[in-house]
Amino acid sequence: MSFEILRYEARHRVRSALGVSAAFSLMGLVFLALAPQIVAGSEVQGLADALPPQFRAAFGLESLTSVEGLLAGEYYTLFWGLFFGIYLAYSAAESVAGDVDAHRMETLLAAPVSRSRVLVEKFLSLLVPVLVASAVVPVVLYAGSWLVEEPLAVVDLAALHVLSIPYLLCCGAIGLGCSVVFDRAETARNAAVGTLFGLYLLESLVVGSDVAWLGSLAPMHYFDPNAILVGGTYDLGGALVLLGTTAALVLAGRVRFERMDVR
């Protein structure tokens, strides 16, 4: 058996990967079409400046005076960062628990394949939606920015999507962890979504407080679209933290899965 599980899972993720890519591309084009009118008015930024820093951080309102700031603060922070992350965590959460719930896992494990291999190949199949969307969406948004005569910096746009990959994989790893902790697929999915959203709120609400260090527990802390697209700065150390966390979560999930009683 040579990566059959990965190929099987990957094939089943192609359609959803294309759907996700189309949805994010369309959403991005809508933002680009509206952006010139929004950033032309100073009242929007004035309203954002009057809000508490926690509120601005929670909804990505740090900079609304440029197309890049609007995209980074709204589209990439909320839709790409939060919603895509939740989607991946939700999908990963049913990778093991779903098969256990449907009594497919015992049939799979009857084949000459280790549990470790099953878990790792199921996790790696998440690369299909991540890589497809990361390849399609920036091309569409870059072309769209030219159409509205507000061209985006191609290097910063490419860097943002490359640096989002470790973040998205970390979200998937959190879902995978829920998948081996809970026996029922529905419970695992709910736990994954709740965990990601809770970490997002935690990272946003502790900004500027005495317990701001708690924000470092959230994967969103290490992926800042505003810094990349507006400031042109890349947090490579943050990407390494996310990759290390992902590896640790997958390893912990592997240990848990090998000790699970699958019936």
Count how many domains the chain has. 1
| DSSP assignments along the chain, one per residue | --SHHHHHHHHHHHHHHHHHHHHHHHHHHHHHHHHHHHHH-HHHHHHHHTS-HHHHHHTT-S--SSHHHHIIIIIIIIIIIIIHHHHHHHHHHHHHHHHHHTT-HHHHHTSS--HHHHHHHHHHTTHHHHHHHHHHHHHHHHHHHHHTT----HHHHHHHHHHHHHHHHHHHHHHHHHHHH-SSHHHHHHHHHHHHHHHHHHHHHTTTSTTGGGGGGSGGGG--HHHHHTT----HHHHHHHHHHHHHHHHHHHHHHHH----
Domain limits for position 241: 4-259
Q: What is the pLDDT of residue 207?
A: 77
Q: What is the pLDDT of residue 106?
A: 82
**Model confidence over 174-227: pLDDT tens digits?**
999 999 998 889 999 999 999 999 999 898 888 778 888 898 999 999 999 989
pTM for the predicted model, two decimal places: 0.90
**Model confidence over 104-147: pLDDT tens digits?**
888 888 888 889 999 999 999 999 999 999 999 999 999 999 99
Q: What is the pLDDT of residue 148?
A: 87
Percent of the chain residues topping a pLDDT of 90: 61
